[in-house]
Amino acid sequence: MKTPLRSLLATALLCAPLFASAASTQLSPEQTFDLYSRVLLEDDATATRTLNDALKPAFEGQDAVTPNPGALAKALVEPWQTVLASTGASIDAAATEALYAKALRDSKCRATQSVIEDNEYVEDQKLARITYTCQVPDLGKVRPLFAASLADHASPASRKQFTDAYTQALQSGARVPVSGTFTLYPAKDNGYWYSGNFDDLVGTVAGALAPFEDWMQDAQAANAPKVTGIPGCDLLLQQHRSCVAKIAPDQISGVDAMAEELKAKAQVQSVEEMTQECKALRPLAEMMWTDECT
């Protein structure tokens, strides 16, 4: 997958006017989050009107939210199209967009709790940490089929089995909960709540619907040298070492230091924590990579 999913989603969001987003004091942080979810993921026109009505005093009577319906569903089509291209199958773009739009609507991400705390970076300012839960398709049985479809000399039948199972899971398969956190900030004398970064919501759901990039990395990680014991970290170290050796061999000691630090952390942190840390490190490392590394 040459185009990271998060980049596609960011592009989709930026196609619409940036959400100058906030919520009135009449809305709790939980209510605010729920409206964001319905606007961003479910293309809910009623939620858009409700949020805009609440925001009018903060935006001189103007609508603050100008959604771009269908943008996220369209963005999700590209990684699936890339997967299908590798199997030789064709894609019905309109039908696929409709499939993803339904899956997004059915996610029903809703706040379960909010905690108001001090903002450690801004004096005398608070922030709200929202915990939320979404309902996403259960792809547990699909993942092994994806791995099988990538195997050397995989048959067309095995690839079709994967694509059919994935489509069926999106359409009408069982759903499982996924959780996340989302931050809201106060504005205008703490009278409004807002967020200018939707990745903690959109990325969670999109990653659950189209996890191909993560699955591909996990498959590659199986062959990476075991340094930390965390597949995502070991793959990152292998790829980063290979790249640095090509473009800046004099800096390989920096990769060694990175490996030792991650190895030490893996002794005291959970697999989930390490996986998330290495996911956060990956885009920083990839910024250094040139075409010679691919």
Q: What is the DSSP string of 242-280?
A: HHHHHH-GGGHHHHHHHHHHHHHHHTTS-HHHHHHHHHH
292's tokens = 């010679």
pLDDT at 17: 41
Question: Which positions ≥6 away from 60 have C-beta within 8 Å?
Answer: none
User: Which secondary-structure segment (H or E) carries 70?
Assistant: none
CA distances from 146 to 86, 149, 210, 236, 265 (A): 12, 5, 12, 21, 31
pLDDT band for 153, please (50, 70, 90 cuts): confident
Amino acid in position 63: D
Higher-confidence position of 195 and 31: 31
pLDDT given for residue 214 in this prediction: 84
Quick check: 4 pLDDT over 70? no
Phi, psi of 217 (to 5 degrees): -65, -40
The DSSP string of 116-149 is: EEE-TTSTT-EEEEEEEEEEEE--TTTHHHHHHH
- Indicate whether 58 pLDDT > 70: no
Where residue 292 falls among pLDDT bands split at 50, 70, 90? confident
Q: How far apart are CA 149 and CA 166, in angstroms?
A: 12
Span of 4-8, 58-62, 112-116, 195-199 with lowest mean pLDDT? 4-8
Domain ranges of the chain: 5-212, 223-293
pLDDT at 237 over 80: yes
Q: Inform me whether the pLDDT recorded for 22 exceeds 60.
A: no
Q: How would you classify the pairing of strands 110-118 and 175-187?
A: unpaired
Determine the average pLDDT of the residues in 264-288: 91
Please name which of 164, 178, 173 lies closest in space to residue 107, comparing C-alpha atoms. 178
Q: What is the predicted pLDDT for the residue at 109?
A: 97
What residues form DSSP beta bridges with 115? 129
Tokens of 174: 């069982």
**18: pLDDT confidence band, cut at 50, 70 and 90?**
very low
First to last CA, the chain: 12
149 Cβ neighbours under 8 A, 6+ residues apart:
87, 158, 159, 161, 162, 163
Q: 15 falls in which pLDDT band (50, 70, 90)?
A: very low
Using a pLDDT cut of 70, give the percent of the chain over it. Answer: 87
Average pLDDT over residues 199-206: 92
Place of tokens 């980049």: 7
Instruction: Quote the CA–CA distance of 40 and 202 in Å, as a whole number.
Output: 8
The more confidently predicted of residues 133 and 56 is 133
pTM for the whole thing? Answer: 0.78
